[in-house]
């Protein structure tokens, strides 16, 4: 099959692609596409269009929509095509509708009938196409219409159809669990399907079901384990292999399921130990897919009831991942480490340097993953270093989504583990300064509260020191341009409360700064309001201290402006400020006591101070107050009476007086009174919003539970641990290495010997001083690096023990498992001869084979030695054409794409037989030349700027 592949194309479509490819600008491209849309609109509605033509129009529509243009005028034609008898046309129709429509589209109603019919078709391809549409286009309401047919298909003779029917049922379950809840047992039944592919497909819905309800599937543990065992032992036919791994996606799904089932269940977990251990030992660790399975094993081990041997194997794999040169493996290693440290926190220590390398890696993805790991392993000893790093990184990125996340993590860690309040305030300042608009406003409140309340220790001196350092830092920070609003609110509040408290700064300093803030952020009303109130506090404190108050000219002009403000809030604050300034010292002291934001406010809930007033009112003939409980009873009675009366007299005149005003309204009045007539001394009684913010800290009992709280007790105050000794650690590890070398002889297990040879081959890299220091502060000392090889060796012995031991239970297990699954597996499962025969061939690494292909010139000349001679000028011309700029770059691309970096470590990569085979099948310069010529002639490849546009993808 050539590149045209028997699929019909017209000249017009080629022209369209060509002209779009040649477009020099987005506008030109849009013009071309709009033109095409016009053409199609006209043509598609013509009568009697041949089917082929119609099919092509629809494909063109799909193409246009992929480029982002509206093709909705053609949807109806795509729907019509699904009714066609011709398989080709019908499939095209289904393809188009699945891409065009969503499950709630109006046209779906026209398709459901066709789908119903097609699901019953004799032709399995029609059934498959319909199932595909079912997955995408059936919603909760239409599920019942197709459900019976889909259920029938679960027993279809073709395994491809059964597989897809399972997936469709799974989709129904995802969309509306209730509509298929009675059919869930079918997934269990299909687990015993003859075809391993169908069995594998059922794992997807089962995984989801088990994730929702673990307990009702515990009985399947034995079956899952035996399936996994058989898959891992290569008892499936080779058709299920993927890059020489037996059915890796089935293995991965099974491991995920086992992880769920074994979580916190010792008995279930014990059934899994053997098979997971086997996979650890046998799994090919040189391919991506092998490592994917190994990673899944680690996830499983870290989720099930812990087993020390498996944990050791997992730690070995992790260290292999982390030491690899591949960023992908490092990423997986870091992720796996994050899972494993929950169970055995000590393993992080072995990998500290690797972790720090990842932290400093230019790869952003890896960096983020590493921060996630650090977040998981933060303790009070390393919180300072970790949060510091996080904030540095937060400052450096521009992705708001991640910035928010990392800022909230910083806040969380700082609140949990803060070694000192000083540090906490500094950290918060940095977070606010750089991500202020992204953090929760509650964080700002708790920061204000911390500054106001102090440490919870009764040390006034330390408290005031903290406050003056906060004030000092804020005055400094105010010099920076563009601060976030939330941060400014905190600053204004703190300056107002404590700006002049220690006498270091005069009132005119502080008020000047506050006026600057109000002026600089003049369109932020909240900040202005905070600044005004802060000004009022400063002046009030001055008056209370019997000092002369001089309002700065800029402050006066600000007040004048605010007195005429459109915002009533600002206006009120300005008037209040004016009123306060006019009062004498004694009155001011009463309404604005200094440093009273934390004082408890006494609220007289009985409102006893109103007694006289009430007495007076009653004497004048007012109704006495009726408590709510009595009142509601009366209300009910009167309601009943009213109802009865209504029914009786709905036609006659109403003689009863109008209803009394609803007592419910009355009951609210006293509550409103509390708010409006506060006579008790409140620091800022003037405005609900402000008073909420200031009083909130003073009532910890009611806000406390929901509030983010700083852990103030039992926190260590010192920096990191002083245990680090750089010189000894390196010398120790080198001496240990030689020990490894000698002891390696009796290391039987392949896994551990491999990682040991890896160790000895890789020279101990000189580690920079700073890195070690960082490591020490993160992990609390790097003195234990040499521990790892020793444990690795122990693991080797242990695992070889396990092999011997596991022989005994294995046989009995096998009997059980064979019994359990004899019906599930194809006959060749019992054929033990095959796997051993294949295993040698399977050792070939696909990447190694492909590596031979990378050097194009070499392969071409080697494989096509003879033809090369005859047409060599052409080939040369081709290469000369492209070699200049592109070729090198391209080869590099391919290299990075195809070669697995872990393989490049392997010595002696020789070209495998399959290489020559595939490259001899692979074409040859002539084909490439033709293709190239076509490309040129088409001109799809637009300009010299990217001449390698259509370079072959694979070699």
Partner 1 sequence: MIKAVMVMNTQGKSRLAKFYEYLSVEKQQELIRGFFQVLCSRAENVSNFIDAESIFGLDSRLVYKHFATLYFVFVFDSSENELAVLDLIQVFVETLDKCFQNVCELDIVFNYSKIHTILDEMVFGGQVVETSSSEIMKAVEEISKLEAASNAISLIPKSASGWRSR
β-sheet bridge partners, residue 246:
241
Q: Look at residues 315, 350, 362, 366 and name the one whose alpha carbon lies nearest to residue 336.
A: 315
In the chain, the largest separation of any two C-alpha atoms, in whole Å, equals 124
Distance, CA of 67 to chain centre: 28
Rounded to the nearest whole angstrom, what is the least distance from the CB of residue 842 to partner 1 in the complex?
14
By the rule CB under 8 A, 37 interacts with partner 1: no
Judged by beta carbon, residue 261 or residue 591, the one nearer partner 1 is: 261
Rounded to the nearest whole angstrom, what is the least distance from the CB of residue 916 to partner 1 in the complex?
16
Judged by beta carbon, residue 125 or residue 501, the one nearer partner 1 is: 125
Q: Alpha-carbon distance 950 to 955, whole Å?
A: 12
Rounded to the nearest whole angstrom, what is the least distance from the CB of residue 205 to partner 1 in the complex?
9
Judged by beta carbon, residue 249 or residue 375, the one nearer partner 1 is: 249
Judged by beta carbon, residue 296 or residue 384, the one nearer partner 1 is: 296
> Total binding residues for partner 1 by CB under 8 A?
108
Rounded to the nearest whole angstrom, what is the least distance from the CB of residue 282 to partner 1 in the complex?
18
Task: Give the one residue of 170, 409, 434, 445 binding partner 1; rule: CB under 8 A.
Answer: 170
CB-based contact 272:225 (threshold 8 Å)? yes
Judged by beta carbon, residue 504 or residue 892, the one nearer partner 1 is: 892
Task: Give the one residue of 143, 180, 289, 391 binding partner 1; rule: CB under 8 A.
Answer: 289
By the rule CB under 8 A, 164 interacts with partner 1: yes
Judged by beta carbon, residue 603 or residue 933, the one nearer partner 1 is: 933
Task: Give the one residue of 144, 582, 670, 897 binding partner 1; rule: CB under 8 A.
Answer: 897
Q: From residue 864 to residue 893, what is the string marking binding to partner 1 with x (rule CB under 8 A)?
A: --------------------------x-xx
Q: Alpha-carbon distance 897 to 913, whole Å?
A: 22
Question: Quick count: other Cβ atoms within 10 Å of Cβ 227?
Answer: 29
| DSSP one-letter string for 434-474 | HHGGGS-HHHHHHHHHHHHHTTSSS-HHHHHHHHHHHHHHH
Judged by beta carbon, residue 240 or residue 879, the one nearer partner 1 is: 240
243: left (phi over 0), alpha (psi -120 to 50) or beta: left
By the rule CB under 8 A, 955 interacts with partner 1: yes
Cβ neighbours of residue 495 closer than 8 Å, sequence gap 6 or more:
471, 474, 475, 510, 513, 514, 534, 538
Q: Alpha-carbon distance 51 to 21, whole Å?
A: 28
β-sheet bridge partners, residue 263:
304
Distance, CA of 13 to chain centre: 41
Question: Quick count: other Cβ atoms within 10 Å of Cβ 613?
Answer: 10
**Residues of span 2-21 touching partner 1 by CB under 8 A:** 2-7, 9, 13-14, 17
**Residues of span 802-831 touching partner 1 by CB under 8 A:** none
Judged by beta carbon, residue 5 or residue 908, the one nearer partner 1 is: 5
Judged by beta carbon, residue 399 or residue 472, the one nearer partner 1 is: 399
Rounded to the nearest whole angstrom, what is the least distance from the CB of residue 383 to partner 1 in the complex?
24
By the rule CB under 8 A, 291 interacts with partner 1: yes
Rounded to the nearest whole angstrom, what is the least distance from the CB of residue 120 to partner 1 in the complex?
17
Judged by beta carbon, residue 244 or residue 378, the one nearer partner 1 is: 244
Rounded to the nearest whole angstrom, what is the least distance from the CB of residue 953 to partner 1 in the complex?
5
**Residues of span 900-939 touching partner 1 by CB under 8 A:** 921-923, 927-928, 931, 934-935, 938
**Residues of span 217-276 touching partner 1 by CB under 8 A:** 239-243, 247-249, 252, 256
Residues in the chain: 955
Rounded to the nearest whole angstrom, what is the least distance from the CB of residue 752 to partner 1 in the complex?
22
Distance, CA of 829 to chain centre: 40
Rounded to the nearest whole angstrom, what is the least distance from the CB of residue 246 to partner 1 in the complex?
11
CB-based contact 175:143 (threshold 8 Å)? yes
Burial 316-337 (b: 16+ CB within 10 A, else e): bbbbbbbbbebebbbbbbbbbb
Q: Look at residues 192, 81, 174, 168 and name the one whose alpha carbon lies nearest to residue 119.
A: 168
By the rule CB under 8 A, 445 interacts with partner 1: no
By the rule CB under 8 A, 610 interacts with partner 1: no
Q: Look at residues 520, 442, 421 and name the one whose alpha carbon lies nearest to residue 486.
A: 442
By the rule CB under 8 A, 950 interacts with partner 1: yes
Q: How far is CA 908 from CA 324, 840, 900, 915, in A?
A: 18, 18, 15, 15
Q: Alpha-carbon distance 853 to 860, whole Å?
A: 9
Judged by beta carbon, residue 75 or residue 530, the one nearer partner 1 is: 75
Q: For 263, list phi and psi in degrees, rounded to 5.
A: -65, 115
**Residues of span 529-588 touching partner 1 by CB under 8 A:** none
CB-based contact 277:313 (threshold 8 Å)? yes
Rounded to the nearest whole angstrom, what is the least distance from the CB of residue 71 to partner 1 in the complex?
8
Judged by beta carbon, residue 681 or residue 901, the one nearer partner 1 is: 901
Q: From residue 616 to residue 645, what is the string marking binding to partner 1 with x (rule CB under 8 A)?
A: ------------------------------
173: helix, strand or coil: helix
Q: What is the 3-state secondary structure (H, E, C) of 727-795?
A: HHHHHHHHHHHHHHHHHHHHCCCHHHHHHHHHHHHCCCCCCCHHHHHHHHHHHCCCCCCCHHHHHHHHH
**What 8-state DSSP symbol labels residue 883?**
I
Q: Alpha-carbon distance 275 to 809, whole Å?
A: 12
By the rule CB under 8 A, 207 interacts with partner 1: yes
Q: Alpha-carbon distance 319 to 593, whole Å?
A: 62
By the rule CB under 8 A, 514 interacts with partner 1: no
Rounded to the nearest whole angstrom, what is the least distance from the CB of residue 949 to partner 1 in the complex?
5
Rounded to the nearest whole angstrom, what is the least distance from the CB of residue 24 to partner 1 in the complex?
12
Task: Give the one residue of 32, 107, 112, 160 binding partner 1; rule: CB under 8 A.
Answer: 160
**Residues of span 294-313 touching partner 1 by CB under 8 A:** 295-296
Rounded to the nearest whole angstrom, what is the least distance from the CB of residue 806 to partner 1 in the complex?
26
In terms of DSSP bridges, do strands 245-246 and 241-242 run parallel, antiparallel, or are they unpaired?
antiparallel
Rounded to the nearest whole angstrom, what is the least distance from the CB of residue 950 to partner 1 in the complex?
5
**What 8-state DSSP symbol labels residue 658?**
P
By the rule CB under 8 A, 288 interacts with partner 1: yes
**Residues of span 171-200 touching partner 1 by CB under 8 A:** 171, 197, 200
**Residues of span 316-335 touching partner 1 by CB under 8 A:** 326-328, 330-332
**Residues of span 331-390 touching partner 1 by CB under 8 A:** 331-332, 362-366, 368
Rounded to the nearest whole angstrom, what is the least distance from the CB of residue 830 to partner 1 in the complex?
22
CB-based contact 856:923 (threshold 8 Å)? no
Q: Alpha-carbon distance 592 to 540, whole Å?
A: 6
Judged by beta carbon, residue 88 or residue 739, the one nearer partner 1 is: 88
**Residues of span 397-416 touching partner 1 by CB under 8 A:** 399-402
Judged by beta carbon, residue 295 or residue 417, the one nearer partner 1 is: 295
Rounded to the nearest whole angstrom, what is the least distance from the CB of residue 912 to partner 1 in the complex?
16
Rounded to the nearest whole angstrom, what is the least distance from the CB of residue 561 to partner 1 in the complex?
41
**Residues of span 761-780 touching partner 1 by CB under 8 A:** none
β-sheet bridge partners, residue 242:
245
308: helix, strand or coil: helix
Rounded to the nearest whole angstrom, what is the least distance from the CB of residue 167 to partner 1 in the complex?
5
Q: Alpha-carbon distance 565 to 91, whole Å?
A: 68
Q: Alpha-carbon distance 265 to 210, whole Å?
A: 14
**Residues of span 75-134 touching partner 1 by CB under 8 A:** 85-88, 91-92, 95, 99, 102-103, 123, 125, 132
Q: Alpha-carbon distance 790 to 736, whole Å?
A: 9
Judged by beta carbon, residue 183 or residue 581, the one nearer partner 1 is: 183
């Amino acid at each position: 099959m050539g590149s045209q592949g028997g699929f019909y194309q017209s000249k017009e479509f080629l022209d369209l692609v060509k002209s779009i490819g040649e477009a020099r600008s987005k506008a030109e491209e849009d013009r071309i596409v709009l033109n095409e849309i016009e053409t199609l609109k006209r043509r598609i509605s013509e009568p009697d269009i041949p089917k082929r033509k119609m099919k092509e129009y629809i494909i063109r529509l799909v193409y246009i929509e992929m480029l982002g243009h509206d093709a909705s005028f053609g949807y109806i034609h795509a729907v019509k095509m699904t009714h066609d008898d011709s398989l080709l046309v019908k499939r095209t129709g289904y393809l188009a509708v699945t891409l065009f429509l969503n499950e709630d589209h109006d046209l779906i109603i026209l398709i459901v009938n066709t789908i119903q019919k097609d699901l019953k078709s004799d032709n399995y391809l029609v059934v498959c196409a319909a199932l595909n549409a079912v997955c995408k286009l059936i919603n909760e309401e239409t599920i019942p219409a197709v459900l019976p047919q889909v259920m029938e298909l679960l027993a279809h003779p073709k395994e491809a159809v059964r597989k897809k029917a399972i997936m469709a049922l799974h989709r129904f379950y995802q969309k509306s669990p209730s509509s298929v809840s009675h059919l869930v047992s079918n997934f269990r039944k299909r687990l015993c399907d003859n075809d391993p592919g169908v069995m594998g497909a059922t794992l997807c819905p089962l995984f989801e079901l088990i994730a929702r309800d673990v307990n009702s599937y515990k009985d399947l543990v034995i079956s899952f384990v035996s399936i996994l065992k058989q898959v891992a032992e290569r008892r499936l036919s080779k058709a299920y292999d993927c890059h020489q791994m037996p059915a890796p996606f089935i293995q991965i799904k099974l491991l995920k399921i086992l992880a769920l089932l074994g979580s916190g269940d010792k008995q279930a977990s014990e059934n899994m130990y053997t098979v997971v251990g086997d996979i650890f030992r046998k799994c090919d660790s040189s391919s991506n897919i092998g490592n994917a399975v190994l990673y899944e094993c680690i996830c499983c081990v870290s989720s099930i009831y812990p087993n020390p041997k498996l944990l050791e194997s997992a730690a070995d794999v992790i260290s292999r991942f982390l030491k690899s040169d591949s960023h992908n493996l490092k990423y997986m290693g870091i992720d796996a480490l994050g899972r494993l440290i929950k169970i055995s926190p000590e393993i992080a220590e072995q990998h500290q340097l690797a972790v720090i390398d990842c932290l400093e890696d230019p790869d952003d993805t890896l960096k983020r993953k590493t921060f996630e790991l650090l977040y998981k392993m933060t303790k009070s000893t390393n919180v300072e270093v970790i949060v510091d790093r996080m904030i540095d990184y937060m400052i450096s990125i521009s992705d708001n989504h991640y910035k928010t996340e990392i800022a909230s993590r910083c806040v969380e860690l700082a609140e949990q583990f803060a070694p000192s309040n000083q540090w906490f305030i500094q950290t918060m300042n940095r977070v606010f300064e750089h991500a202020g608009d992204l953090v929760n406003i509650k964080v700002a409140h708790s920061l204000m509260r911390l500054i106001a309340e102090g440490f919870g220790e009764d040390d006034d001196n330390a408290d005031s020191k903290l406050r003056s350092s906060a004030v000092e830092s804020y005055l400094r920070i105010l010099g920076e341009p563009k601060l976030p609003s939330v941060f400014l609110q905190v600053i204004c509040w703190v300056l107002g409360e404590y700006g002049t408290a220690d006498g270091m700064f005069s009132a005119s300093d502080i008020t000047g700064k506050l006026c600057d803030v109000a002026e600089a952020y003049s369109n932020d009303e909240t900040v202005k309001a905070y600044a005004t109130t802060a000004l009022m506090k400063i002046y009030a404190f001055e008056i209370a201290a019997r000092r002369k108050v001089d309002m700065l000219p800029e402050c006066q002009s600000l007040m004048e402006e605010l007195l005429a403000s459109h915002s009533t809030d600002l206006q009120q604050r300005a008037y209040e400020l004016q009123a306060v300034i006019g009062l004498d010292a004694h009155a001011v002291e009463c309404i604005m006591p200094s440093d009273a934001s934390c004082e408890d406010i006494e609220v007289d809930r009985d409102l006893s101070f109103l007694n006289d007033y009430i007495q007076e009112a009653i004497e004048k003939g007012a109704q006495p107050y009726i408590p709510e409980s009595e009142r509601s009873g009366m209300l009910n009675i009167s309601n009943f009476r009213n109802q009865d009366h209504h029914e009786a007299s709905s036609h006659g005149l109403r003689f009863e007086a109008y209803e009394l005003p609803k007592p419910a309204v009355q009951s609210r009045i006293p509550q409103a009174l509390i708010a409006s007539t506060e006579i008790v001394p409140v620091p800022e009684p003037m405005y609900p919003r402000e008073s909420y913010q200031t009083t909130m800290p003073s009532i910890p009992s009611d806000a406390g539970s929901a509030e983010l709280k700083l852990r103030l007790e039992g926190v260590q105050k010192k920096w990191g641990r002083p245990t680090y000794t750089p010189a000894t650690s390196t010398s120790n590890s080198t001496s240990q290495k030689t020990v490894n070398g000698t002891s390696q002889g009796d290391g039987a297990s392949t896994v551990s010997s491999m990682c040991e040879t890896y160790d000895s081959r890789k020279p101990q890299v000189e580690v920079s001083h700073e890195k070690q220091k960082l490591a020490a502060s993160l992990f609390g000392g790097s003195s234990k690096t040499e521990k790892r090889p020793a444990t690795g060796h122990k693991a080797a012995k242990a695992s070889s023990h396990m092999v011997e031991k596991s022989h005994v239970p294995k046989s009995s297990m096998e009997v059980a498992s064979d019994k359990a699954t004899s019906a599930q597996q194809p006959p060749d499962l019992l054929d033990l001869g095959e796997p051993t025969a294949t295993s040698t061939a399977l050792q070939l690494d696909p990447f190694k084979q492909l590596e031979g292909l990378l050097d194009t010139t070499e392969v071409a000349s080697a494989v096509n030695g003879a033809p090369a001679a005859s047409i060599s000028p052409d080939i040369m011309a081709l290469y000369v054409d492209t070699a200049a700029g592109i070729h090198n770059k391209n080869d590099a691309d391919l290299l990075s794409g195809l070669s697995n970096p872990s393989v490049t470590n392997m010595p002696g990569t020789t070209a495998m037989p399959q290489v020559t085979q595939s490259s001899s099948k692979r074409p040859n310069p002539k084909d490439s030349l033709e293709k190239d010529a076509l490309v040129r002639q088409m001109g799809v490849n637009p300009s010299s700027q990217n001449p390698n546009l259509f370079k072959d993808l694979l070699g």
